[in-house]
């Protein structure tokens, strides 16, 4: 990890800017750890509210960017609300003064804030608000740089629809839809250094879409594409000066390698993914970006679990559980975060799989109780897929317990109900591979129940 004081002295003048460390340059926020970032947010608010401020609307827009970054790194809804308020003030002020290009940038910032909230808290209303703002920018300021940025963000929103039910061809077409806005953003790089972050962000968005779809469809071509796209993003970043963006791109590449290794049955790819994630954790610590650190811990846990599955190594499962626990510790005060639900659900699945492999009745009981607690904390309406995956894992534990000590009527009925509930959710969300697995489990469970209870 770099030395903050040395880097900041090099980047800024001897006296430094009057308000905060970055002087409104959002690309420099990555150099600030959490303590400095909080101080920067407060300084930006003071600068925006100062009576003598030269351009209070621009200062408000600068403050919105800092508060958004603080919220994204911490999962703090209050910081996100402050970001939204500051961006709204900036947009209103620019609009009153007929500063169309500045207004467009403020509206894009409002949309990005909404997209950040939608991703963190799984709020479809925020996604709709973001799309409305981006459409407005493209209609009202079509020749502006902000319109190009809005184009890229809209592409990300519009391609989300293929993730639920699109086949491989539809996903590939959606991925190619990123080409035009990426090329347009590359054209801005000559005049706007901030455009680099948008280009890298859009490439990471495409990699994430390909990864999500590739895992759902178990498609090696899509997963390889995701790994290549993330690798291209990594190659354009410097971990010393762009640690957060680099870590995100590296995490996507590693996750794609792990999924590809699982799909192809190649343990070398999974091991490579584990190494990449371990390196990324050396770049971004919990003191710098708790959310990114927790995400890396979660991805490393998933990779270690895959390594345990492929190599039949019980120690890998134990290490995975440790990573899940570290991620959940950071997320302990944010029960509404989507990442927390995913981490809790995957930890329960890891417990279940370890219990299955060992055949230890005590471990099975521990995993069963942990899953029941997790299911009690989840909302089927807010997190239906995570809830359904937990139901499948609970059913698997019931089935494992039947194998170890024999079937019982109550367990057969409970496992059947869990699988049927999960099957309904998977079918409703177009998750065909998960639905097929659940259906096969139901058939197997019914056959076992008939054989052992007859």
pLDDT in the model for residue 384: 78
Residue 16 has pLDDT above 50, yes or no: no
CA-wise closest residue to 258 among 292, 315, 309 = 309
Contact predicate 385/338, CB 8 Å? no
Cα–Cα distance measured from residue 359 to residue 205, given in angstroms and rounded to the nearest whole number = 40
Residue spans of the domains in the chain: they are 337-454
CATH of 337-454 given 1.25.40, 3.40.50, 1.10.8, 1.20.950: 1.25.40
Q: Are 434 and 426 in contact (CB under 8 A)?
A: yes
| Predicted confidence band of residue 2 (pLDDT cuts 50, 70, 90) | very low
* pLDDT of 148 strictly over 80: yes
The pLDDT value recorded for residue 407 is 63
Dist CA 113 CA 120 (whole Å): 11
Write down the pLDDT at residue 193: 55
| Alpha-carbon distances of 56 from 78, 86, 90, 194, 207, rounded to whole Å | 22, 11, 8, 21, 38
What tokens does 80 get? 């996100």
pLDDT digits (tens, 9 = 90+) for 27-84: 788 889 999 999 999 999 998 888 777 889 999 999 999 999 999 999 999 999 999 9
The predicted pLDDT at position 13 comes to 45
pLDDT digits (tens, 9 = 90+) for 336-378: 687 887 887 788 778 778 877 777 777 778 778 877 887 887 7
**Chain segment 241-256, per-residue pLDDT in tens:** 999 999 999 999 999 9
Considering the entire predicted model, what is its pTM? 0.83
Mind listing the pLDDT tens digit for each residue in 124-141? 889 999 999 999 999 999
Structure tokens at 207: 């990699």
């Amino acid at each position: 990890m770099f030395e903050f004081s040395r880097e900041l002295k090099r980047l800024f003048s001897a006296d430094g800017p009057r308000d905060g460390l970055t002087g409104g340059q959002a690309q420099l926020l990555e150099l600030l750890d959490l303590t400095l970032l909080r101080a920067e947010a407060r300084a930006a608010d003071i600068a925006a509210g100062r009576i003598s401020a030269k351009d209070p609307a621009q200062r408000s827009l600068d403050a919105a960017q800092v508060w958004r970054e603080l919220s994204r790194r911490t999962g703090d809804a209050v910081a996100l609300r402050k970001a939204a308020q500051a961006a709204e003030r900036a947009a209103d002020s620019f609009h009153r003064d007929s500063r169309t290009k500045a207004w467009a940038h403020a509206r894009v910032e409002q949309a990005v804030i909404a997209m950040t909230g939608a991703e963190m808290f799984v709020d479809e209303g925020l996604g709709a608000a973001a799309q409305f703002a981006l459409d407005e920018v493209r209609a009202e300021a079509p020749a502006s740089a902000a319109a190009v940025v809005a184009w890229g963000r809209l592409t990300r929103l519009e391609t989300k629809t293929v993730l639920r039910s699109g086949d491989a061809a539809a996903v590939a077409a959606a991925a190619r839809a990123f080409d035009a806005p990426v090329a347009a953003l590359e054209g801005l790089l000559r005049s706007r250094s901030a455009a680099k972050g948008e280009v890298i962000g859009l490439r990471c968005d495409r990699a994430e879409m390909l990864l999500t779809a590739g895992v759902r469809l178990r498609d090696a071509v899509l997963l390889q594409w995701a790994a290549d796209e993330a690798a291209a993003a990594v190659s354009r970043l410097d971990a010393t000066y762009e640690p957060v963006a680099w870590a995100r791109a590296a995490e996507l590449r590693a996750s794609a390698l792990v999924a590809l290794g699982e799909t192809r049955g190649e343990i070398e790819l999974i091991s490579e993914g584990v190494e990449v994630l371990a390196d990324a954790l050396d770049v971004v610590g919990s003191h710098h970006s708790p959310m990114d650190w927790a995400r890396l811990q979660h991805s490393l846990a998933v990779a270690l679990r895959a390594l345990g599955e492929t190599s039949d190594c019980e120690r890998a499962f134990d290490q995975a559980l440790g990573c899940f626990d570290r991620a959940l510790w950071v997320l302990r005060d944010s029960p509404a975060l989507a990442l927390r639900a995913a981490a809790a659900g995957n930890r329960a699945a890891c417990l279940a799989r370890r219990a299955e492999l060992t055949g230890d009745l005590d471990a099975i009981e521990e995993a069963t109780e942990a899953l029941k607690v997790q299911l009690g904390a989840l909302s089927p309406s807010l997190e239906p897929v995570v809830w359904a995956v937990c139901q499948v894992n609970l059913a698997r534990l019931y089935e494992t317990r039947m194998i170890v000590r024999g079937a019982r009527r109550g367990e057969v009925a409970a496992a059947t109900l869990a699988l049927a509930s999960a099957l309904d959710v998977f079918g409703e969300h177009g998750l065909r591979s998960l639905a097929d697995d659940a259906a096969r489990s139901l058939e197997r469970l019914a056959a076992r129940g008939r054989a052992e209870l007859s």
